[in-house]
Amino acid sequence: MIVQSAPPSAVGAASTLPNAEQAGVSAGGAAGQSIVAANSWRGRLLDDILREIRPRSAVAFWTEFRAPWGASFHRDWTVFHIVVEGDCWLHLKGAAEPVQLCEGDLAVVKSAQYHTMRDSPSTPTINFTDLVTTHARGNRGALCFGGDGRVTRLVCGGIEDRNGHPLMANLSPLIHVKGSDSGVGGWRRSTTRQILAELESEGTGSTEVANLLVDVLFLQAVRAYFDENVQTAGSSWLAAARDPQIGRALAAIHSHPRRPWTVESLARHVAMSRTTFAARFKELVGEPPQHYFTRLRINAAAARLLSGGDKLSRVAAEAGYRSVAAFLKSFKRHMGTTPGEYRNRRGGWPL
């Protein structure tokens, strides 16, 4: 997998915490810790994170481009491109060189990143939105464009994380997962072909099936990104996940999201002073610990609001709040809107 860098108050009262074994993390410092133990708690942390991320993928277009062709993209949400057949070049604005995408590859471009896709790095481009409005769909619903040269077939669309997980904000502007990667390459290529087959069939529920398959590919890309970057990230959430003490604190939070965590209890859990822990956490994660774990609960509550018809009292209790009033105040502060207004947004995400 290749990643490309971009160019130049706690809820509830404190309670007695479980010991390190119950929390799923070890309590000692970094000294003498075995690689197996380190990988164990990091593995559990990644498991929890993948479970918390709630991607919502939406296939917007599947294309059949013939060389020469070129299109530019600039969206306010994360965009994905899957190469089903052929190859092409993706160039992120400000990047030194374009990236070649081949059959079976998945490219995830972070929101608000201008980029181009074309058959050759030198081919002129047109805005993809203009292309959609001026070119008709061909056989089996594909958007056709270009000349009479070699064919490149793509599946393109958008992705959002309904839980607003902090790892998502720290993803690279471009994640490129190769279909030829060892171990899962064959599975990924067969999945991309199945996505296109579902779309072309126009059968009952085919679009939803395709969207769910994209969700799987996206989670696989996030997993690969975590595995390949957690050991080298200089700062951000990934660096925090690598830190022997802050990483264990994150593992505890994500293993037990409903516990009434406080700065004091987390600091004690990883054998640090409150002041040192709070400063180190903010330095690596980018926000104070109490803001972090409160936001996680609010994000989980927001996802629950969109996925079901639970009463606010139930949503508030599941998020760890003892009163609806406290939940409403915290939700409005973090989300900028009331739970009722947020729930009414269902289905309003633009493609």
pLDDT tens by residue, the chain, 351 residues: 655 544 443 333 333 333 333 333 333 333 333 333 445 667 778 788 777 777 778 887 888 999 999 999 987 678 899 998 999 999 999 999 999 999 889 999 987 789 999 999 999 999 988 888 887 676 666 888 899 999 999 999 888 776 666 667 667 889 998 887 655 556 777 888 888 888 888 788 888 898 899 888 888 888 888 878 778 777 678 888 889 999 999 989 888 877 888 999 999 999 999 999 999 999 998 889 998 888 888 888 887 887 777 889 999 888 888 899 999 999 998 888 888 888 776 544 433
- Residues paired with residue 175 on neighbouring β-strands, in sequence order: 3, 108
Q: Tell me the C-alpha distance between 28 and 25, whole Å.
A: 9
How do strand 87-92 and strand 126-127 relate by DSSP bridges? unpaired
Q: Which amino acid is at 146?
A: G
Structure-derived torsion over alpha carbons of residues 196, 197, 198, 203, reported in degrees to the nearest 10: 140
Q: Which CATH class is domain 55-229?
A: mainly beta
d(CA 220, CA 214): 10
Question: 28, 52, 54: which is closest to 40 by C-alpha?
Answer: 28
Question: Residue 83 has what pLDDT?
Answer: 92
Q: Give the Cα separation of 191 and 189 in Å (integer).
A: 5
Q: pTM of the prediction?
A: 0.68
What order do you get walking across the sheet with 87-92 strand by strand?
99-102, 87-92, 115-118, 70-73, 126-127
DSSP 8-state code for residue 131: H
The domain made up of 12-52+233-343 is a member of CATH 1.10.10.60: yes
Using alpha carbons, list the distances in angstroms from residue 87 to 154, 160, 175, 257, 260: 9, 26, 17, 43, 51
Tell me which H or E stretch contains 251: helix 246-255
Give the position of tokens 């729930």.
Answer: 343
Task: State residue 235's pLDDT score.
Answer: 65
> What residues does each domain of the chain span?
12-52+233-343, 55-229
- The Cα-based distances of 272 to 97, 228, 275, 279 in angstroms read 45, 28, 8, 11
Round to whole Å and give the CA distance between 58 and 80.
Answer: 10
Asked if the domains at 12-52+233-343 and 55-229 fall in one CATH topology, the answer is no
Beta bridge partners of 143: 63, 137
